[in-house]
Amino acid sequence: MADLARTLDLPMLGRLLLATVLGAAIGLERELSGKPAGLRTNILICVGAELFTELSVLVATGFLTHDLMRGDPGRIASHIVEGIGFIGAGTILVAGGNVLGLTTAATLWVVAAIGMGVGLHLYWQSAGATLLVVLTLVALGRFEASVLPGREQHILRVVVEGEGPDGVREALAGTGMRHEVFGHEHERGASVLYYRLHGTAGQRDALLRRLAETPGVRSARYE
Contact in structure between 125 and 191 (CB atoms under 8 Å): no
pLDDT band at 5 (very low <50, low <70, confident <90, very high): very low
d(CA 159, CA 157): 7
Closest CA to 34 of 184, 127, 155, 163: 155
Per DSSP bridges, beta strands 217-222 and 153-160 are antiparallel
pLDDT in tens, 59-110: 777 665 555 556 666 667 777 877 887 787 777 665 444 556 778 888 999 9
Closest CA to 21 of 109, 127, 97: 127
pLDDT in tens, 20-60: 999 999 999 888 876 777 899 999 999 999 999 988 888 77
| Comma-separated ranges of CATH 3.30.70.260 domains in the chain | 153-222
| Res 117: pLDDT | 93
Q: Is CATH 3.30.70.260 what the domain over 153-222 is classified as, yes or no?
A: yes
